[in-house]
Every structure is written in structure tokens, then in C-alpha cells.
């Protein structure tokens, strides 16, 4: 799922938890799309209350929300927040790519149970892509070429 609000962009990939009881089916009555939207609404409300918008507050906000998500597994959570020209990014089990000019760079990667943060300055024409590992694996090895094609001026 992809959500954008103000200067905050977010992708979240959720999956149902397996039952911890042997022989019991996983929880099936959870609507992952609706749950993802609830997570975004929670993030949006918290984002609006931030007095300062910087890397530390973005990280704190997302870490807090991740701790609150206990009903489902978070497969990927990646977010970017643009404040002026400063870009703050958070990534768990995904990758953040930037297209600058004709080149595509990986600026942040993270594996499933860890998260990473970074910041940098955007330039005119830069394009950011938040990518889940599932999407990256599906498009590999042509992910960077796909991003160039997707963001090319026509």
C-alpha cells in the first residue's frame, strides 16, 4: 500500500500472522488493506502533531507505530519526509532509490527485522522510489532500468 500526505510518503506491506498454536490456522479475519489504512491514519495524525520534522522525529514516529502493530506482520515499511530540500528516509525490509539525472542510486537498504535511516539534500529533478524487497526481487536485475524508464520525461 502507498500513502502520501503533505511531505510524508509511505509504503507498507503487511501479512497475516501465522498461528502460534500447532495445527491452528493463521488469523484470517483481518482485512490487510483496511489495517494498512488504519496504520497510515495513525501515522498521519502523529505526523500532524510533530513540532519538529526531522530525521529523529520521523524515526521515533515510525518506531512507535511499529511497536503498536501486533496483529499482523510488517513485511516492509519505508517512508520519506521532505522538509525544504532535506529528505529524511526510514526503511525496514526494503530499499530507497534516487534518480538523479540519468543515474539511479541506492541510498538506503534494510533487511526484515532491522531498520535504517538516512538524510540528504534533494536537487531539482530528483525522483525518489520507496521499494519493498518483494518488488525489488520481482524486477531484479532491471529495477534501476525500470525506474529510469518510469520516471523519464516523455
Q: How far apart are CA 145 and CA 41, in angstroms?
A: 33
Q: pTM to 2 decimals?
A: 0.81
> Locate cell 518483494: which residue?
134
Predicted confidence (pLDDT) per residue in 78-126, tens digit: 999 999 999 999 998 888 888 888 888 888 888 767 889 999 999 999 9
Predicted confidence (pLDDT) per residue in 11-34, tens digit: 998 988 876 555 555 556 788 999
> Locate cell 493463521: which residue?
26
- Long-range CB contacts (< 8 A, 24+ apart) of 71-74? 71/17, 71/27, 71/30, 71/35, 72/14, 72/15, 72/16, 72/17, 72/30, 72/32, 72/35, 73/14, 73/15, 73/16, 73/17, 74/12, 74/13, 74/14
Amino acid at each position: 500500500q502507498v500513502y502520501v500526505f503533505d511531505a510524508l510518503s509511505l509504503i507498507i506491506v503487511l501479512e497475516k500472522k501465522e498461528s502460534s498454536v500447532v495445527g491452528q490456522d493463521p488469523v484470517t479475519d483481518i482485512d490487510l488493506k483496511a489495517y494498512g489504512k488504519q496504520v497510515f491514519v495513525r501515522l498521519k495524525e502523529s505526523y500532524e502533531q510533530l513540532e519538529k520534522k526531522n530525521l529523529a522525529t520521523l524515526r521515533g514516529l515510525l518506531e512507535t507505530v511499529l511497536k503498536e502493530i501486533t496483529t499482523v506482520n510488517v513485511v516492509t515499511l519505508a517512508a520519506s519526509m521532505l522538509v525544504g530540500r532535506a529528505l529524511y528516509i526510514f526503511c525496514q525490509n526494503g530499499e530507497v532509490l534516487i534518480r538523479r539525472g540519468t543515474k539511479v542510486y541506492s541510498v538506503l537498504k534494510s533487511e526484515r527485522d532491522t531498520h535504517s535511516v538516512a538524510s540528504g539534500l534533494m536537487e531539482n529533478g530528483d525522483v525518489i522510489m520507496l521499494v519493498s524487497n518483494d518488488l525489488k526481487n520481482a524486477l531484479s536485475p532491471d529495477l534501476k532500468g525500470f525506474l529510469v524508464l518510469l520516471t523519464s520525461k516523455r
